[in-house]
Amino acid sequence: MIEDENHIEEIANEFAIAGEFVEGEEVYSGHINSTYMATFRKPSGSKSQYIFQRINEKVFKDPFAVMRNVEMVTRHINWKVLRVKKDLGGQTLNLYPARGGRFYAQGDGGGVWRCYNFIEGCKTYDIVENTRQAYQAGHAFGSFQDLVSDIDVEDIEETIPDFHDTPKRYARLMEVIDADPCGRVETAQAEIDFIRAREDVTTKLITLRDDGKLPVRITHNDTKINNVMIDTETDEAVCVIDLDTVMPGLSLYDFGDLVRTVVSPAAEDEQDLSKVEMRMPIFESLAEGYMDGCDCLCDAEIENLVFSGKLISLEIGIRFLTDYLEGDVYFKTKREQHNLDRARTQLKLVEELEAKQEAMEEFVTRLAKARKLG
C-alpha cells in the first residue's frame, strides 16, 4: 500500500469515476512520473481499476501543455478508430474528466494529475520474449504514427525543447565532461572515448531534416516496449500508452527507440554486458510490423530505419552518461552508478548494431521492395 493512501483517494475523487474508493498502490514503472493504481467498488458490487499519474514538473515545465497534447492525440485516435472499426467498445486509452470538465486535476499539495482507464487482461513487457511480440510492438507504434499523421504539426506543442536533438545532447555531454561537477569523469573514460569516436553520427538525421528530406511529424518520442499494452492471451498489441512526450519530431526517432528497447534481451540497466545482443529475428519482426502499420513513410525514412536504431541507442547512452556525470539529477536511480550501468548497456548495443548493420539493411530493402510490389 502507498504511504499516503488518503491523498490518492482525495485525488481520485476529483475525477468522474462511479463507485467507492477501495485501495491504491504505487506502480513502480518508468523513470519520470509518479504512477498509482486505484481500485473502486461500483454500485453493483463489482470492482474496477484506474491509473492515476502525477506529471513530473521538473521534467515537463508546462504540464498543462502536456495535457493539451495528450487530450488532442487521444481524441483524434479514438475518433479515427471509431470511424474505421465502427465500435464504441474498442479498447483504447481514455482520459477521465475531472471536475469542471477538464481532463486533469490539481492536488492540494500541488501537482497536475490525470486519470486513465486500466485495460483488463493486458500487461507490458520490459523484454520482448518472441518474434510475435516484436511484430505487435512494431505494428502498434507504426499504427500510432499512421493514426496521427494527419494532425497539423502546428497544433501540438513542444513540451521538452530539443528532446531528440542528438548534436545538442552530445554538446551538453562535452560541457559536463569539462566541468566534471561530481568528480566522476575518470570513472567513465572508456565510455566518453567511445562516444567521441562517433561524433559524426550525431548530426545525420538533423541534417536530413533541415535539408527537407525527412518530414517533421507528430511522434511518440518514448517508444519503449513497455509502452505497449499486450493482450496476455493472444500476445496482440492493444494500445500505445505514455503519451507525455508526444511532440513534433521524426518518425525515425520513434523507430530507433523501438530498436533500442526491443532487439536485445538484456535489461536497460544490465550490468553483465555479455547479455546485450542484437537478435536478428526480433529485428526483422519489429521492422515488418512497423512498416505494415505505417503507410505514410517516405523513401528517406525507410532508408534510414536501420541507422536510427544505432543513433538513438547512442543518444540515450549519451543522456544516461550525462546524468551520471551531473550527479543523477534526471533519471530515477536505485543504486550507485545506476546511470553509468545504463549508459554502458546502450553503448554495447551500439556495437552490436554496427556489427549487424549490413544484414539489417538488406532485410529492410527487401521489405520495402515487397511493399511497393504489393
Task: Give the pLDDT confidence of 178-229 residue by residue, as tens digits.
Answer: 999 999 999 999 999 999 999 999 999 999 999 999 999 999 999 988 889 8
Higher per-residue confidence, 144 vs 3: 144
pLDDT score for 119: 82
- What is the pLDDT, as a whole number, of residue 126? 84
Does one domain contain both 78 and 150? no
pLDDT of residue 88: 47
Which of 341, 243, 303 lies closest to 30, judged by CA? 243
Report the mean per-residue pLDDT for the chain.
89
Residue 207, in any domain of the structure: yes
198 and 114 within one domain = no
Domain annotation covers residue 126: no
CATH of the domain at 287: 3.90.1200.10
* Structural domain of 214: 131-373
Q: For 227, which DSSP code?
A: G
Same-domain status, 261 and 325: yes
> What's the pLDDT at 5?
58
What's the angle, vertex CA 167, arms to CA 160 and CA 301, rounded to 5?
85
Exposed/middle/buried for 150, CB within 10 Å: 0-12, 13-18, 19+?
A: exposed
CA–CA separation, 141 and 75 (whole Å): 17
Q: For the segment 103-145, what is each residue's pLDDT rounded down to a tens digit?
A: 898 876 668 899 988 888 888 888 888 999 999 999 999 999 9
- Considering its fold, how many domains does the chain have in total? 2
Q: What CATH number is associated with residue 110?
A: 3.30.200.20
Q: Which of 74, 97, 120 is where one domain is finished?
A: 120
Best CA proximity match to 118, nearest among 37, 40, 55: 37
Residues 165, 187 within the same domain: yes
Spatial contact of 341 and 271, defined as CB atoms under 8 Å apart:
yes
> Do 222 and 174 fall into the same domain?
yes
Of the segments 74-83, 157-166, 267-276, which one has the largest average pLDDT value? 267-276
Do 164 and 85 reside in the same domain of the chain? no
Q: 156 in a domain, yes or no?
A: yes
Pairing assessment for the beta strands 112-117 and 105-106 based on DSSP bridges: antiparallel
How many CB atoms are closer than 10 A to CB 218? 25
Last residue of a domain, one of 120, 148, 180: 120
Tens digits of residue pLDDT in 299-332: 999 999 999 999 999 999 999 999 999 999 988 8
The reported pTM is 0.86
pLDDT of 61 over the 90 cut: no
